[in-house]
Amino acid sequence: MGTRSCGHICGESSPGIGEAGITGDWRDSRPVIDLDKCTPSKKNKPSCFQCWLYCPEAVISKTIPVEINLEYCKGCGICAQVCPTHAITMVAEQGRGSA
Amino acid sequence: MDKIETIQIIDGNQAAALGAKLSRVQVIAAYPITPQTPVTEALSEFVERGELDAQYVAVESEHSALAVCTSASIVGAKAFTATSSHGLAYMHEMLHWAAGTRLPLVLACVNRAIGAPWNVQNDQQDSISQRDTGWIQIYARNNQEILDSVIQAYRIAEKVYIPVMVCYDGYILSHTEMPVSVPTQKEVDKFLPKYKPHTLLDPQNPKNYNLVTLANPRLNAENVLCHGYMEIRFLLQEALQNSRETIIEAGREFGKLFGRSYGLLWKDRMDDADIVIVAMGSLALEAIVASDMLREEGYRTGVVGLRVFRPFPKGDVVAALRGARNIIVFDKNISYGLEGATCSEIKSALYGSGVNAAIRNFIVGLGGRNVAARELADAVKKSLSPSADKTLNREYPEWICYI
Amino acid sequence: MAQVEHPDVVIVLDDTLLKHNGVLDGLAKGGWLIVNSRQEPEHLNCHGEFNVATADATAICQDLGLIVSGLTIVNTAILGAFVRATGLLNVESIKKVIRERFPKADIDVNLAAVEKTYEMTKSKKQGTSK
C-alpha cells in the first residue's frame, strides 16, 4: 500500500468536496425541509437562509428552494435548531445499510 | 580585497544574535530566561535600530514564542527563537509540532539546568531532554562555533526541512567574551540561498496544514492516496537520517568561504589514541586540556567532541572509535534511571560494530558545578586502573561531585 | 568557576573576600594581587612572593555616582589600578575601549573612574617595605 505519490512531507490537504469522505453515512437522522414553512422557498424571494449560514459543513445551498446535499450532511441538526419558522425537522434514518 | 570578516570580542549570546541577524531572519519571537535573555535583547535592539528588517514579536511565554515562529514559518517567513531550560520545556509540545510540520526553524538553546531544585547555571539536561522531538541538534564548543553554526543551521534546515537547535553552554559560553570572526553580510548572503518554503498560505491555492491525520492512508477528494500518520513520521526519520550529507556539505562550503570547516564531530589526537574521551559542548575543549595532561604522563589519549547529536552520527562515531580500547564518556546530563545520554548513544552506535572497548560514564558539571581538566584526567586514570571494575560502579555512571 | 589555576594577577573587587580560603591559591611568584580597598598594601596582611596594590575604587565610584540600583560598580575603575600596578597595558588603551564599547551616556563617568583610580593606586613590590 506504500506510496509517495502525494508528495506531502507534513499533514496537508486542499479544500475539496468529499475530502473527509462520504460523510452522509455518518448520520442517524436527516433534516427535512417543509417548503411551505421555509421563508425564501415560500415567498420565492432571497431571504433568511439562516440554515445555510449556520451549517458547519456547507451542505445547504442558498437557493430557492433551499436544498441540502444529503451525500455529505452529517445530521448535526443545527439547521433545524436555527430555522426561525421551524421549517426543518430531523427525521430518523431507517436501515440504510445493506450487505 | 574586501575584508570578509572582522574580529569582535563578544560573548556567546551576542554570537548567537549576530548569527541570526546575518542570516536575515524575518520573525523573532522569544521570551527572556536566564541565561538567554541577552540574545532577545540584542535582537530587539537590531530590529529597533533598523539594522535587521524583521518583526520582533513580544510574547508571554516560550510556548507562545515557538507557536509564533511556527506560524510565521508555515507562511514562508524565516523565523528564529532562543531559550533555555524551563523555557525549552515550556515549548516542548511545539518542538514536536515544528518538526512534524517539517519547518526550517532555528532555535538557540543556551544550556541550563532544569529544576527542581532551581538552578540557573549550566548543564545540558534541557536540550538532551528534547532529543526525541525530531530536531537536528548541534552543540558548540566556543563562541565562534555558535555564530558559524547558527548561520549553517539555516542552510541545513531549509534544505532538509527539519528544524535545527544550536546548543551552547550557559555562562561558560553565553556570558564569556572571546574573539570571534564575524563575517560580513555580503559573504553570508553568498552562503545562504533563498528559502523555498514547502508550505505557503496562498488564497489562489488554498491549503490546510496539519489536519487530523489518522492511522491509515486515505484517498483524498482528488483520489490521490495521502499518507497516514506513520508515513509522515517515517519521512521525518528518513530526512533526519539523510540530513547527514547536507550537514557535512554545509560545513564544507562554509569552510570554503570562511576558512573554518565543520563536520559531525571534532577529533583531537585520535590518530594513535587507544584511550578516548568523549564529550560535548565546551566540555569537549576542557577534555582536550585533560588529554594533553594525560599525554604528558604517557597515556595515549585522544578526544572525540560530538558536534551533531541529532541525527546521531553513528557511522562517524564508530569510525572514530575503531582503535579505542578504553572509552570514557563525560555527560553533563543524565537520563535518570539509566545513564548519561551520550554514553547510551555511543554504546548503541558501537553495538555490532566489532569495536571492543571498555566504556565508562561519568556525570559531571550538573547545575553549573565547575569541571576542572584535572578532574577529567583523574577520572580517566581511575577508569584505566586495574581495579576499576571493583572501585567504579559497573551498572550505573560515576558522578564527579561531593557525595 | 574559572579554569585559571596559576594566575599572574589576582584582582579582588571586595576586600572582605580576602578572609576566605583560596583567593591567593596558585598566584605566580612575582605576580600581582590588586585589591579594591581603603587599606594600604602593607596593611592588608597578605604576604607571599607577590606584589600588592590597592586603590579605594569604592570611594572613587561612589563620589562619581557610579551606582546602579544601590550597588557601587567598581569593575571599570579597578582597571586603572591594574594598569598602574602591572604596567601590562597603558591607560589610553583602556580609555579607547571605553569610548568604543560603552553606551554614550556612561562614557565620561567610566573614564573618570579609571583615571582617578589609576592616580590613587598604591603599590608595594614584593620584598620591599614600601
CATH of the domain at B165: 3.40.50.970
Report the chain B residue with the minimal C-alpha distance to residue A16. Answer: B221
DSSP H or E segment with residue A90: strand A88-92
Cβ of B286 within 8 Å of Cβ of C3? The answer is yes
CB contact under 8 A, A9 and B217: no
- Select the residue from A3, A4, A5, A13 to test the B interface by mutation, using most B Cβ atoms within 10 A: A13
- Averaged pLDDT, A20-38: 92
Q: What is the mean pLDDT of each run of 10 residues along chain B (403 residues)?
A: 79 98 98 97 97 97 98 95 98 98 98 97 98 98 98 98 98 97 96 92 89 91 92 97 98 97 98 97 97 98 98 98 97 98 98 95 97 96 93 93 88
Give yes or no for C4 touching B (CB within 8 A).
Answer: no
B90 and B173 in a single domain? The answer is yes
Tell me, yes or no, whether B144 lies in a domain. yes
What's A23-92's CATH class? Answer: alpha beta
Domains of chain A, residue spans:
23-92
Q: Do B220 and A8 meet the contact criterion of CB atoms below 8 Å apart? A: no
Domain-located, residue B192 = yes
Size of interface B-C (CB pairs under 8 A): 8
Q: What is the mean pLDDT of residues A49-72?
A: 96
What's the pLDDT at B403? Answer: 84
Q: How many CB atoms lie within 10 A of CB B173?
A: 27
Note the pLDDT of residue C47: 87
Decide if B120 touches C, using CB distance below 8 A: no
Domains delineated in chain C: 9-124 (3.40.920.10)
A92 touches chain B (CB under 8 A): no
Show the cell assigned to A91.
Answer: 427525521
Q: Are residues B11 and B151 in the same domain?
A: yes
Q: Assess B4–C contact: CB distance below 8 Å, yes or no.
A: no
Task: Quote the pTM value.
Answer: 0.88
pLDDT(A1) > 60: no
Do B175 and B275 sit in the same domain of this protein? no
B215 interface with A at CB cutoff 8 Å: no
Which B residues 272-291 touch C at CB under 8 Å?
Answer: 286, 289
Same domain, B29 and B140: yes
Residues 360-379 of B with CB under 8 A from C: 368, 370, 372-373
DSSP letter, residue C90: -
Q: What's residue A22's pLDDT? A: 86
The answer for residues whose C-beta is within 8 angstroms of residue B232's C-beta and 6 or more apart is A8, A9, A10, A11, B100, B213
| One domain for residues B92 and B172 | yes
**Chain B residues near residue A21 by CB distance under 8 angstroms:** 218
Query: Could you tell me if B226 lies within 8 Å of chain A, comparing CB atoms?
Result: yes
A22 near B CB under 8 A: no
List chain A residues with CB under 8 Å of B221: 14, 16-19
| Contacts with C3 from chain B: Cβ below 8 Å | 286, 289, 372-373
Under 8 Å CB pairs connecting chains A and B tally to 68
ipTM for this model: 0.81
CA distance C56 to chain B (A): 27
Host domain of residue B64: 5-196+248-253
pLDDT computed for residue B248 by the predictor: 98
Question: Least CB-CB distance to C3: which of B171, B368, B372?
Answer: B372
- Residue A35 — pLDDT band, cuts 50, 70, 90? very high
How far is C103 from chain B, CA to nearest CA, in Å? Answer: 13
Give B203 to chain A, closest Cα distance, Å: 11
Residue of A1, A5, A21 with shortest CB distance to B224: A5
Looking at chain A, which subunits does it touch, using at least 3 CB pairs closer than 8 Å as the criterion? B
Domains identified in chain B, total number: 2
User: Letter for the amino acid at C101?
Assistant: R
Q: Tell if the CB–CB gap between C1 and B373 is shorter than 8 Å.
A: no
CA torsion, ordered A17, A22, A26, A29, to nearest 10 deg: 80
Tell me: do B92 and B188 sit in the same domain: yes
In this structure, is residue B222 part of a structural domain?
no
Q: Do B372 and C1 touch (CB under 8 A)?
A: no
Which segments in chain C show pLDDT lower than 70? 1-2, 129-130
The CATH number of residue B359's host domain is 3.40.50.920
From the list B286, B370, B373, which residue is nearest C1 (CB)? B370
Q: What is the torsional sign of CA A61, A63, A66, A67?
A: negative
d(CA B200, CA B208): 10
Say which range, A3-7, A58-62, B213-217, C63-67, has the weakest mean pLDDT.
Answer: A3-7
According to the model, what pLDDT value does residue C129 have? Answer: 59
Minimum Cα–Cα distance from B220: chain A residue: A19
**Nearest-neighbour CA in chain B from A14: distance (Å):** 4
Distances in whole angstroms, Cα of residue B293 to Cα of each of B206, B213, B285, B306? 63, 56, 13, 21
Instruction: Tell me if B217 is assigned to some domain.
Output: no
Determine whether the interchain pair B370/C5 forms a contact, defined as Cβ–Cβ distance below 8 Å.
no
Assess whether the previous peptide bond of B311 is cis (omega < 30° from 0).
yes
- Looking only at the bridges linking them, the beta strands covering C71-72 and C67-68 are antiparallel
Residue B40's SS3 state is helix
- Please tell me the predicted confidence (pLDDT) of residue A73: 96
Query: Which residues on chain B are in Cβ contact (under 8 Å) with A2?
Result: 231
Chains in touch with B (3+ beta-carbon pairs under 8 Å) read A, C
Amino acid A96: pLDDT: 64
Read out DSSP for B125-191?
A: HHHHTTTTSS-EEEE-SSHHHHHHHHHHHHHHHHHHT--EEEEEETTTTTT--EEEEEEPHHHHHHH
DSSP symbol at B226: E
Any idea what DSSP says for residue B52? S
B232 touches chain A (CB under 8 A): yes
